[in-house]
Homo-oligomer: A and B are copies of this chain.
Amino acid sequence: MNRGILFVLSGPSGVGKGTVCAALRHKLPELIYSVSATTRSPREGEREGVNYFFKSREQFHHMIETDALLEHAEYVGNYYGTPREFVEKTLSEGKDIILEIEVQGALKVKEKFTEGVFVFLMPPSLNELKQRIVGRGTESQATIDHRLSVAAEEMNLLHHYDYAVVNDEIDNACSRIMSIITAEHCKRERFLGELFHDLANFPAADNV
């Protein structure tokens, strides 16, 4: 059995990663979604292993030290991270897994998981991203300039990715991602091992 493929969906803030991922989940229910570990408390209705893997700070630190996380970050006093074991287990079962994550986290995942397929969600144009960031004009020029330069830096990270998917319409973006998933399964490397094994006995027609 072939291993599954890790797809990492990332892109600049505000590009619509969450919305596209939610739509994709609906269209591709067989795709597994990476579940994060966190030190924050479960909210009502959240389930262990479904929404998050809930960890104490001690457990989380232990995961960091034992390289059990593909990436982690602190956000508003809590830790969040991507457990390697869940990803590995899914892939070894021959299933694909998708991880939706901001650009810095994606680059950390890439360091530890070079065989992943990295997809960068793009705004339809830089002007459109600019309009969104400038927004309703209620913020100071300094804040706007800072956000613009962060967005420019994030866009610059595209060259670390394998694919760019323009999020012009959610359905289009989903179709492109689904095509990328199909195409990655057609990469010739995925066929070579089995083929050469089979070819070893191929010319012998005796058992036909």
Contact = CB atoms under 8 A, between A and B. Distances in A.
Nearest to A192: B159
B186 A164 contact: yes
Interface size class of A (residues with CB under 8 A): 35 or more
A198 B156 CA distance: 11
A1 interface: no
Contact of A187 (B130, B144, B162, B178): B162
A78 interface: no
A155 B195 contact: yes
Interface string A148-165: 110110011011011111
Contacts of A205: 130, 134, 141, 144-145, 148
Contacts of A179: 178-180, 182-183, 186
A188 B158 contact: yes
A119 B191 CA distance: 13
A33 interface: no
A50 interface: no
Interface in A87-123: 119-120, 122
Chain A: interface secondary structure? helix
A202 B163 CA distance: 22
Nearest to A134: B208
B164 A175 contact: no
A126 interface: yes
Contacts of A122: 191
A199 interface: yes
A8 to B, nearest CB: 13
Given A158-B195, A162-B187, 5 more contacts: A151-B202, A162-B188, A176-B186, A179-B179, A179-B182
